[in-house]
């Protein structure tokens, strides 16, 4: 993996990688993070820091992505604060050793499972939710007793700088460190040995992260993306479906990893569904979304050009207007799209919504089977039998029926991908488990010490099988 300097990399940032990781490792080796009381205080300190810098963070998110304050708080700051609160409520139970059964062959003895931290964790965040998707994994890592190195996305520079200041003012640098910069910094960090890597971003970069982790046999969680389909059946409530789809699709100007990427609509209700979607867009953003205080912008010119390139690949029935100077792309709905077109093969990650149709539910499922497993699958129907069919015959990171995105909000259900949409999961206990090694511990008594297990062996194989099966259950 060749290193190359880029403009987003501060001078000397890449050379900071090794001393930063070494300082974190020395700190972890002192086991200062082991007491649950220490972890609690650090999580509380993080919560207080977020609250005291709330306006600075909201301003940074608006500067980077034009995020409306209400949306930014609900999807970024509030999300992390709820993670902290949930973790503090359950941390004592999560960290408690668990008794386990002991086979007769190890009698007399007692077994237990000890949760222990991996050690030094690297958390690489994306640009689309540059606060939540960096800090939410940090909450889990600290709860599990790890130390952490954070790499914010350079594509959201204001949020990156604000988070860096927050972390440096809140934590000791050998407990939680922030390394800012571009590609060269990311590559320099990936050359170092970590005990766990948590990456959120594109599938392409996820493959590079996994290759780098393999050099040190470092376990990874990859939170990636993909084309999350949205199936709307003929019996769905079209007005409610349209509002929920429009909300999830055009939040953050479509730059959401679990946003509905395209719609598969039953042919019988395609036309009224399109009308309901158009009404919902006008209801949310007015006749001129450019002037709406509740509609964001594309992160940079490169992504703007990529998304605009999709517009000629279908017939636009809503939106389509755009302005490169403002990085504005209107909420756009398109039909008559070739399923083989790039807009149907690549993750859109922007405010463009293709709508295709199907005759029978099996036709929709056949189209999905030919594609990589998505991060989310959405189904709108009243029919429980159809729900069971879709659930049984598809695979996705998560599934949501009669809504979008809400499945990732629960703290008691894991969130993550499968196949090309990722591996591993987090949120709540699943996040604690991700950053935890569960170590089995067996304690044997000194006596009795049966000679049967020691050479020279005196039993026949038949007796050995009988005794072994009895002792091992």
Q: What are the angstrom distances between the C-alpha of 14 and each of 186, 190, 252?
A: 8, 11, 31
Tokens 């429009």 belong to: 246
257 an active-site residue?
Answer: yes
Distance CA 30, CA 4 (A): 35
Contact 207, 355 (CB under 8 A): no
The token pair that represents 54 in the structure block: 């709330």
For residues 353 and 149, what is the distance between their CA atoms, to the nearest angstrom?
37
List the catalytic residue out of 154, 192, 223, 420. 223
| C-alpha R_g of the chain | 25
What gap in Å lies between CA 17 and CA 225, rounded to an integer?
A: 27
Is 223 among the catalytic positions?
Answer: yes
Q: Which of 233, 257, 347, 357 is catalytic?
A: 257
CA distance 186 to 176: 17
How many other CB atoms are found less than 10 A from the CB of residue 84? 21
Crossing angle for the helix pair 183-190 and 203-215, nearest 10 degrees? Answer: 30
Residue 374 backbone phi and psi in degrees, to 5: -85, 165
Name which of 273, 270, 327, 338 is nearest 304 in CA terms.
327
Length reported for the chain: 473
Please choose, from the candidates 337, 335, 333, 394, the residue with its C-alpha nearest in 3D space to the C-alpha of residue 361.
Answer: 394
Strand partners, 221: 198
Q: Which residues contact 289 (CB under 8 A, 6 or more apart)?
A: 281, 295, 319, 330, 331
**In which region does residue 327 sit, left (phi positive, over 0), alpha (psi from -120 to 50) or beta (all else)?**
left
Residues catalogued as catalytic: 223, 257
């Amino acid at each position: 993996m060749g290193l190359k300097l880029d403009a987003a990399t501060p001078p000397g940032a890449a050379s900071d990688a090794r001393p930063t990781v070494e300082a974190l490792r020395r700190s972890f080796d002192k086991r200062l993070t082991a007491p649950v009381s220490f972890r609690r205080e650090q999580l509380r300190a993080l919560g207080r820091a977020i609250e005291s810098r709330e306006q600075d963070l909201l301003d940074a998110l608006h500067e980077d992505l034009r995020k409306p304050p209400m949306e930014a708080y609900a999807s970024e700051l509030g999300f992390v604060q709820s993670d902290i609160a949930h973790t503090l409520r359950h941390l004592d139970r999560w960290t408690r050793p668990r008794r386990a059964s002991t086979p007769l062959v190890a009698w007399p003895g007692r077994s237990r499972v000890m949760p222990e931290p991996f050690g030094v964790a690297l958390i690489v965040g994306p640009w689309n939710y540059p606060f939540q998707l960096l800090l939410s994994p940090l909450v889990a890592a600290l709860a599990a007793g790890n130390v952490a190195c954070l790499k914010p996305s350079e594509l959201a520079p204001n949020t990156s700088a604000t988070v860096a200041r927050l972390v440096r003012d809140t934590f000791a640098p050998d407990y939680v460190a922030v390394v800012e910069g571009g590609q060269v910094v990311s590559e320099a960090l990936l050359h170092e040995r970590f005990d766990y890597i948590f990456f959120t971003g594109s599938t392409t970069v996820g493959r590079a992260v996994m290759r780098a982790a393999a050099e040190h046999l470092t376990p990874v969680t990859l939170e990636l993306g993909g084309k999350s389909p949205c199936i709307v059946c003929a019996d769905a409530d079209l007005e409610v479906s349209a509002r929920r789809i429009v909300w999830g699709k055009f939040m953050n100007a479509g730059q959401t990893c679990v946003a509905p990427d395209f719609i598969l609509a039953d042919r019988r209700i395609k036309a009224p569904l399109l009308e309901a979607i158009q009404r919902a867009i006008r209801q949310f953003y007015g006749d001129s979304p450019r002037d709406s205080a509740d509609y964001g912008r594309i992160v940079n010119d490169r992504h703007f050009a990529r998304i605009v390139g999709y517009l000629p690949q279908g017939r636009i029935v809503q939106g389509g207007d755009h302005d490169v100077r403002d990085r504005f792309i209107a909420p756009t709905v398109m039909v008559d799209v070739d399923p083989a077109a790039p807009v149907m093969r690549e993750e859109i990650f922007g405010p463009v919504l293709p709508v295709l149709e199907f005759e029978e539910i099996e036709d929709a499922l056949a189209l999905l089977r030919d594609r990589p497993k998505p991060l989310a699958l959405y189904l709108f129907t009243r029919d429980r039998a159809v729900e069971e069919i879709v659930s049984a015959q598809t695979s996705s990171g998560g599934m949501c029926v009669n809504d979008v995105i809400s499945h990732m909000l629960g703290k008691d259900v894991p969130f993550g991908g499968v196949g090309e949409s990722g591996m591993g999961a987090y949120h709540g206990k699943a996040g604690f488990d991700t950053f935890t090694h569960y170590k089995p511990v067996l304690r044997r008594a000194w006596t009795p010490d049966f000679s049967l297990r020691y050479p020279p062996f005196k039993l026949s194989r038949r007796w050995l099988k009988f005794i072994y099966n009895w002792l091992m259950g």
